[in-house]
């Protein structure tokens, strides 16, 4: 038997490791003999030392098939105002009210994943069920932070979260289904050509670059935590989806993390020594690449301690038997990822621009539709509620329905960070031979719903949707339900204000005037509310509606640029590491309720 990577029960309390050497040891020096990865359960250890503040102490165990994203203690996850994140609702009540639950897809130490169908339209979803009693208090806190980070992720190579539910016994996470299975299964079942390996690594790096640009470090990248979107061959259009952010955390530039988190085969040497940053993810990418090329993991010992000792030494072998027929560029790239010294280790953006990725991974070229600019201009002129509703629709659609515009987005994303600048969109328009309008910046500011200065993935999809995607009654009902906060079948001014403020009690009043106008315009019953029929009329309207969205300062960045689980090294912190955040800071007043303007308009009693 070869090395059991990722799912093998192993030693959980290794002895302290020897002091770390400062020199970089990546290269062809003699090192540990590589071993083949096999299906297994998590190998790793638990560490009980207290930590500074970079995690809540989640046990680091989850589900192999469909796990999700977590956060670091004290991390402030950035949220959109009217972006996709603000419409992922947490509901109390029975999952069975909205979903028919089917067969089990997988099971882990923290829960079970089932296939499910949404009752309203039959859409397939994967539902992760977590038993509340299995979580300690700190783990429950970390679990909700995990949900927050997952909400904030908006990238084609990261699995989507649609809804969360909670009843007396369970938490439920409703996610997209990835029918192609785990990358690890493919590694075990087949050999990878160098081109296929490049396709995989490029997609892995896209997800990593996006996370790092958003100050998130995953800390558990491995083949088990990547699922293939489709049950087809490895190809550029069969997207890999990153899952299980259970031990992910915030990591800002210059920040040093100190917790031992990860999986033994894939963890970076600096993690073992408790002093690392987001470059730990690039080491893990290097191990994944090594495994794709050779079928072996580069570090393997007789037990966990032996494996981790070899990882800490960082000596990588490139035997002719495995690497003799591999290109020099591939070997150079793998060495760049597996530099033991993180200061010399290649960063995600530079990795995406490495010659091996540029030349060996097929470049995506998808034709820009002739209606592209027309759709962007029309979207700019919609009222803010319809813009938000279209983001809901885009976020709910499956990859198959979005494939063409998804591929356009990826083609235009020149640096691979999962966001589009003015320059990138301009280049895409030029390459399509379409004349660039003089007001392109203004058009894109109208598409940029969250005011970030760039066009995010779901913003792009919402602005370019085919009208057939949002005219059906089923789609409109899904969007309507996101605004209908209390589920009574009616949308009131305060519910619009709350939704447009990103689901927050603060900041809603800036949207009051427009909320009043929209309710009045589509209030068919004259009762000061919007029914579903009025909402559907708004969604199906072809009238160009000039938005009165709250003005925001032009983004400096946009205008200037025009531009599965922590089933490995789990950690249990001392009580001091899981103290509640200080509540000394004063909070702004609740301005989610309408002012006298709504009463004067007859919309609030």
Q: Which of 600, 598, 582 is nearest to 529 (CA)?
A: 598
Please indicate whether residue 101 or residue 19 has the higher confidence score (pLDDT).
101
Query: How high is the pLDDT of residue 87?
Result: 75
Is the pLDDT higher at 378 or at 142?
378
Answer whether 351's CB lies under 8 Å from 282's CB.
yes
Mean pLDDT of the chain: 77
- Residue 220 known to be catalytic: yes
Q: 382-386, 547-551, 601-605 — which one is most confidently predicted on average?
A: 382-386
Pick from 382, 389, 605, 384: nearest CA to 513: 384
CA angle 5, 7, 13 (to 5 degrees): 90
Q: Which range has the worst mean pLDDT, 53-57, 159-163, 199-203, 457-461? A: 53-57
Query: Is 70 exceeded by the pLDDT of residue 80?
Result: no
Average pLDDT on 464-476 reads: 77
State whether CATH 3.40.50.2300 applies to domain 84-175.
Answer: no
Q: Is the pLDDT of residue 414 over 50?
A: yes
pLDDT bin (cut points 50, 70, 90) of residue 85 is confident
Q: What's the rounded Cα separation, in Å, for the pair 224 and 36?
A: 14
C-alpha span between 52 and 116 (Å, rounded): 40
| Average of per-residue pLDDT across 53-68 | 32
Query: For position 194, what pLDDT does the model report?
Result: 94
Strands 90-92, 161-166: pairing kind = parallel
Q: Provide the pLDDT confidence category of residue 589 given band limits of 50, 70 and 90.
A: low
What's residue 595's pLDDT? 62
Q: Does residue 201 have a pLDDT over 80?
A: yes
Taking the CA atoms of the chain, what radius of gyration do you get in angstroms?
25
| CA angle, 515 then 518 then 521, to 5° | 150
Q: DSSP letters along 196-246, please?
A: HHHHHHHHHHHHHHHHHHTTEE-S---GGGEEESSSS-S-TTS-EEE--BT
Name the one residue in this structure whose structure tokens are 């993690």: 271
SS (H, E, C) 510-543: HHHHHHHHHHHHCCCCCCCCEEHHHHHHHHHCCC
How many CB atoms lie under 10 A from the CB of residue 166? 15
Over residues 312-317, the mean pLDDT reads 94
pTM (predicted TM-score): 0.78
Distance CA 132, CA 136 (A): 9
Q: What is the mean pLDDT of residues 337-354?
A: 97
Q: Which residue has the higher pLDDT, 540 or 577?
A: 540
Longest dimension (CA), the chain: 81
User: 584 or 261: which carries more pLDDT confidence?
Assistant: 261
Cβ 403 vs Cβ 237: under 8 Å: yes
The CA distance from 63 to 270, in Å, is 26
Report strand pairing: 490-491 vs 161-166: unpaired
The residue among 102, 100, 97, 90 whose CA lies nearest residue 165 is 90
Q: Residue 126: pLDDT band by 50, 70, 90 thresholds?
A: very high
> What is the pLDDT, as a whole number, of residue 60?
33
Give the C-alpha distances (Å, rounded to integers) separating 191 from 187, 196, 231: 6, 9, 17
pLDDT of residue 97: 86
Instruction: Locate the domains of the chain by residue range.
Output: 84-175, 183-360, 372-469, 473-543
- The token duo for 186 is 């493919």
The DSSP line for 313-332 is HT-----HHHHTTS-HHHHH
Pairing state of beta strands 419-420 and 226-228?
A: unpaired
In this prediction, residue 481 carries a pLDDT of 87
Distances (CA, A) of 332 to 35, 344, 346, 415, 594: 21, 13, 11, 21, 61
Tell me if 221 sits within 8 A of 184, measured CB to CB: no
pLDDT band at residue 598 under the 50/70/90 scheme:
low
| Three-state SS at 385 | helix
Q: What percent of the chain has pLDDT over 90?
A: 42
Closest alpha carbon to 495 in 535, 547, 461, 539: 535
Count of H-run helices and E-run strands, the chain: 22, 14
Calpha distance 464→456 (Å, rounded): 12
SS3 166: strand
Measure Cα distances from 594 to 98, 241, 324, 480 in Å.
31, 41, 70, 20
* CA gap 557, 559 in Å, rounded: 6
In 3D, which of 271, 315, 222 has the Cα closest to residue 45?
A: 271
| Domain 473-543 part of CATH 3.40.50.720 | no
Cβ atoms of 40 and 185 within 8 Å: the answer is no
Q: Give the rounded percent of residues in the chain with a pLDDT score beyond 70.
A: 73
Strands 249-250 and 240-242: what pairing? unpaired
- For residue 58, the model assigns a pLDDT of 34
Question: Which residue in 277, 362, 296, 278 sits closest to 334, CA to CA?
Answer: 296
- Could you give phi then psi for residue 360, rounded to 5 degrees? -85, -35
Residue 604, pLDDT score:
58
Beta bridge partners of 490: 531
* CATH superfamily name and code, 183-360: Transferase(Phosphotransferase) domain 1 (1.10.510.10)
Same CATH fold assignment for domains 372-469 and 473-543:
yes
35-53: pLDDT as tens digits: 556 544 333 323 323 333 3
Q: How confident is the model at residue 470 (pLDDT cuts 50, 70, 90)?
A: low
Q: How many residues does the chain have?
A: 605
Report DSSP state, residue 468. Answer: G
Whether residue 233 contacts residue 369, with contact meaning beta carbons closer than 8 Å, is answered with: no
Distance of CA 38 to the CA centre of its chain: 27
Instruction: Give the integer Cα–Cα distance in Å for 32 and 287.
Output: 13
In contact, 342 and 275? CB cutoff 8 Å: no
- Kindly name the residue from 56, 73, 220, 281 that is annotated as catalytic: 220
Burial of 97: CB neighbours in 10 Å, binned 0-12, 13-18, 19+: exposed
CATH architecture of the region 372-469: Orthogonal Bundle (1.10)
For residue 121 the two structure tokens come to 């339209």
The tokens describing 378, both together, are 């029309």
Look at residue 7 and tell me whether its pLDDT is greater than 70.
no
């Amino acid at each position: 038997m070869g090395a059991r990577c990722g799912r093998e029960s192993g030693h959980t309390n290794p002895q302290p490791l020897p002091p770390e050497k400062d020199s970089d040891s990546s290269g062809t020096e003699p090192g540990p003999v590589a071993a083949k990865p096999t299906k297994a359960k998590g190998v790793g250890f638990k560490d009980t030392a207290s930590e500074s503040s970079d995690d809540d102490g989640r046990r680091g165990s989850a589900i192999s098939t469909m796990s999700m994203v977590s956060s670091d203690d004290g991390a402030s996850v950035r949220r959109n105002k009217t972006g996709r994140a603000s419409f992922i609702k947490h509901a109390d009540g029975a999952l069975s009210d909205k979903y028919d639950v089917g067969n089990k897809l997988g099971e882990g130490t923290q829960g079970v994943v089932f296939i499910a169908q949404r009752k309203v339209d039959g859409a397939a979803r994967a539902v992760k069920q977590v038993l509340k009693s299995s979580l300690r208090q700190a783990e429950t806190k970390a679990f909700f932070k995990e949900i927050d980070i997952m909400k904030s992720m908006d990238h084609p190579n990261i699995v989507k979260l649609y809804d969360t539910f909670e009843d007396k016994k369970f938490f439920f996470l409703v996610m997209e289904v990835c029918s192609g299975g785990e990358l690890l299964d493919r590694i075990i079942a087949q050999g990878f050509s160098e081109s296929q390996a490049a396709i995989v690594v490029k997609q892995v790096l896209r997800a990593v670059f996006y996370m790092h640009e958003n100050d998130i470090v995953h800390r558990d990248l491995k083949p088990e935590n990547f699922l293939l979107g489709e049950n087809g061959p490895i190809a550029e259009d069969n997207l890999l989806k990153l899952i299980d952010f259970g031990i992910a955390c915030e990591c800002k530039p210059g920040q040093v993390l100190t917790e031992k988190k990860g999986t033994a085969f894939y963890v970076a040497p600096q993690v073992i020594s408790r002093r690392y940053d987001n470059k730990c993810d690039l080491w893990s990418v290097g191990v994944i690449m090594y495994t794709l090329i050779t079928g072996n993991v580069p570090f393997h010992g007789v037990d966990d301690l032996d494996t981790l000792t070899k990882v800490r030494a960082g000596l990588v072998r490139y035997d002719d038997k495995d690497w003799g027929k591999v290109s020099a560029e591939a070997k150079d790239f793998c060495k760049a990822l597996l530099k033991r010294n993180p200061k010399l280790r290649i960063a995600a953006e530079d990795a995406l621009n490495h010659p091996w990725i540029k030349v060996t991974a097929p470049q995506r070229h998808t034709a820009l539709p002739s209606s592209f600019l027309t759709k962007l201009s029309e979207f700019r002129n919609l009222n803010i509620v319809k813009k938000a509703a279209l983001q809901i629709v885009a976020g709910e659609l499956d990859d198959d329905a979005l494939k063409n515009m998804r591929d356009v987005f990826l083609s235009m994303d020149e640096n691979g960070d999962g966001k589009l600048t003015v320059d990138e969109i301009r280049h895409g328009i030029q390459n399509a031979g379409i004349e660039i309008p003089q007001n392109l910046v203004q058009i894109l500011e109208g598409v940029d719903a969250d005011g970030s200065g760039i066009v995010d993935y779901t913003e792009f999809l919402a602005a370019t949707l085919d009208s057939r995607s949002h005219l059906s009654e089923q789609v409109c009902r899904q969007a309507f339900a996101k605004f209908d906060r209390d589920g009574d079948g009616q949308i009131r001014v305060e519910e619009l204000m709350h939704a447009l403020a990103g689901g927050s009690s603060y900041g809603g009043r800036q949207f009051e005037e427009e909320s009043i106008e929209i309710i009045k315009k589509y209030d068919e019953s004259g009762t000061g509310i919007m029914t579903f029929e009025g909402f559907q009329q708004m969604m199906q309207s072809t009238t160009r509606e000039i938005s009165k969205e709250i003005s925001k300062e032009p983004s400096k960045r946009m205008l200037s640029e025009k531009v599965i689980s922590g089933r490995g090294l789990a950690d249990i912190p001392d009580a001091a590491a899981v103290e509640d955040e200080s509540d000394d800071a004063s909070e702004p007043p609740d301005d989610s309720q309408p002012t006298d303007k709504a009463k004067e308009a007859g919309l609030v009693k």
